[in-house]
Amino acid sequence: MKQKLFLAAVLGAFCVLSAAAADISLSIRFYDKKVYHVAETGDTGSSVKPEPVYVEITLTNRSPGTYRFKLADERVFSVDIDVRTLSNQSLEPADYILRKRSESRNVYFRDITVEPGESFSFVEDVRNYADLREPGSFVIQARIFPDLFRESSLSAPAGIPLESNRLNLNLRPPAIPGPGGIPFDMDVETGAVLVREKLPPDEVTAYMLRARQKSQWEKFFLYMNLEALITNDAVRRRSWLNEPEEGRARMMAKYRADLQNSTADEDIALVPSDFRIESTSHNGATGTVVVTEWFQVGRITERRRYTYSFRRQDDIWLLEDYTVVRLGTE
pLDDT in tens, the chain (330 residues): 545 444 444 444 444 444 344 688 999 998 876 778 776 544 434 445 567 888 999 999 999 999 999 888 888 888 999 999 999 999 999 988 888 888 877 888 889 999 999 999 988 999 999 998 888 899 999 999 888 876 554 444 445 788 999 999 988 776 555 444 444 455 555 556 677 888 999 999 999 999 999 888 888 888 999 899 999 988 889 989 888 887 888 888 888 888 887 777 788 888 999 999 999 998 889 999 999 999 988 889 999 999 999 999 888 999 999 999 999 988
For the domain made up of 179-329, the CATH class stated in words is alpha beta
Query: How do strand 119-125 and strand 54-61 relate by DSSP bridges?
Result: antiparallel
Question: How far is the CA of 35 from the CAs of 30, 152, 224, 284, in angstroms?
Answer: 11, 38, 18, 33
**What's the pLDDT at 151?**
58
**What's the pLDDT at 246?**
78
For residue 201, the number of C-alpha atoms closer than 13 Å in the C-beta half-sphere is 27
Which run of H or of E encompasses 186? strand 184-186
pTM to 2 decimal places: 0.52
**What's the pLDDT at 286?**
93
The architecture CATH gives domain 22-172: Sandwich (2.60)
**What's the pLDDT at 267?**
86
Query: How do strand 136-144 and strand 36-37 relate by DSSP bridges?
Result: unpaired
**What's the pLDDT at 269?**
84
**What's the pLDDT at 101?**
84
**What's the pLDDT at 156?**
46
Closest CA to 271 of 255, 280, 283, 259: 259
**Phi/psi at 147 (5° precision):** -115, 30
**What's the pLDDT at 193?**
64
**What's the pLDDT at 185?**
56
Return d(Cα 112, Cα 109) in angstroms, integer.
9
**Phi/psi at 202 (5° precision):** -70, -35
For residue 207, the number of C-alpha atoms closer than 13 Å in the C-beta half-sphere is 21
Fold match between 22-172 and 179-329?
A: no
Domain ranges for the chain: 22-172, 179-329
